[in-house]
Copies of this chain bind each other. A is one copy, B any other.
Amino acid sequence: MTESSPLADSSGVTIGDTGEFALIGRITAHLPDSDAVLVGPGDDTALITAASGSVLATIDVLVEGTHFRRDWSSAADIGHKAAAASLADIAAMGGVATALLVGFAAPADLPLDWALECASGIAAEAAAVGACVVGGDVVGSPIVTLSVTALGDMQGRAPVLRSGARPGDVVALAGRLGLSAAGLAMLSRGVSVPSTLVDAHRRPEPPYLAGPVAAAAGATAMIDVSDGLVADARHLAEASGVCIILGTSAWGISEPLTEAGLALGVDPMEWMLTGGEDHGLLATFPADVVVPPPFVIIGSVADVGSSESGGEFPGVMVDGQRREGPGGHVHFGGLIRG
């Protein structure tokens, strides 16, 4: 997934050789601009228009060895992935991203090319949704750490919270399930095929536009599937005080997932239910709403304590069974979040 970048050179220079201010200059010289940016990089802060009179804001942190490995992903991939994690959160409110701020912590011996390609990846992912990198910080650290703040605008719509799901709603998903987790499982065994899975781990493709589409169509609740379908469905269920009922019998399992499951002796449905980092969008809609594409109905919302809910408290049912436990990523644990 290495790509040529207008920022890259191959002189063997490190960011320690370059120094903080020259590195910032190299990165910001190539950043695209937009009308929403009133003050861009180079001052104490950026100033961005907030046309709706309010601003969405979120931060995500990716740490080398926890969220990515430099020998498994290119610098550009890691930049795309770091930006995607924050941009998907803006989409999950029904908003449109306007700007990113990037905290870049790295050791002095990091190759300058790596830093520039990573910055290029972040800027490219932002540009795909019409957002710009408007500021950042560059500091020394033994561990490469990317902190990405995304700002966004609701464009006059109401934000779609996690807490709005109501009994009788349908549950729908936009985007992919389990591909990133399966790709990570393959990489962990030293295999970098199938490319569909490995690429999905390296560079997720959140369905950004589906967020505002869902908000406009009347979605009652929405969440970014970053921790895994069951885990994030549970977050939504708990915030809304409801039970989410999922039935997998009609779900297609893609050929690469089936193939990887056979190779590793894993039920691919488990990746689909618990794998994170694909950044799909899980939303609920009133039953009388025509669910807009690319959303696909995958379940329904029930009252806590109803006959189908499987318990007296909010939670998730999969194929008639209450699904307990984290059902997704465990943090502070393994080398790689997954």
CA distance A163 to B41 in the complex (A): 13
Is B145 touching A333 in the complex (CB atoms < 8 A)? no
Residues in chain A within 8 A of chain B (CB atoms): 15-16, 19-20, 38-39, 42-51, 53-63, 65-67, 89-90, 92-93, 95, 99, 101-105, 107-108, 134-143, 145, 147, 149-152, 154, 159, 161-163, 222-224, 239, 331-333, 337
Determine how close the nearest CB of chain B comes to the CB of A207; give it in whole angstroms.
Answer: 14
Of the residues B57, B62, B333, B337, contact of A151 by C-beta under 8 Å:
B57
Pick from A45, A65, A92, A93 the residue with the most CB of B within 10 Å: A45
Is B19 touching A331 in the complex (CB atoms < 8 A)? yes
Is B60 touching A140 in the complex (CB atoms < 8 A)? no
Of the residues B43, B61, B135, B161, contact of A137 by C-beta under 8 Å:
B61
CA distance A22 to B138 in the complex (A): 31
Pick from A19, A59, A163 the residue with the most CB of B within 10 Å: A59
The residue in chain B whose Cβ has the minimal distance to the Cβ of A46 is B57
With a cutoff of 8 Å between Cβ atoms, the chain B residues found around residue A99 in the complex are 57
With a cutoff of 8 Å between Cβ atoms, the chain B residues found around residue A60 in the complex are 103, 137
Pick from A46, A47, A163 the residue with the most CB of B within 10 Å: A47
Is A43 touching B139 in the complex (CB atoms < 8 A)? no
The residue in chain B whose Cβ has the minimal distance to the Cβ of A138 is B331
* Given known A-B contacts A140-B337, A145-B141, A57 and B332 have beta carbons under 8 A apart: no
Give 18 CB contacts A-B under 8 Å. Answer: A19-B332, A39-B159, A42-B239, A43-B163, A44-B90, A44-B93, A45-B95, A46-B57, A57-B149, A59-B137, A59-B147, A60-B103, A61-B103, A65-B142, A67-B139, A142-B143, A145-B145, A145-B147
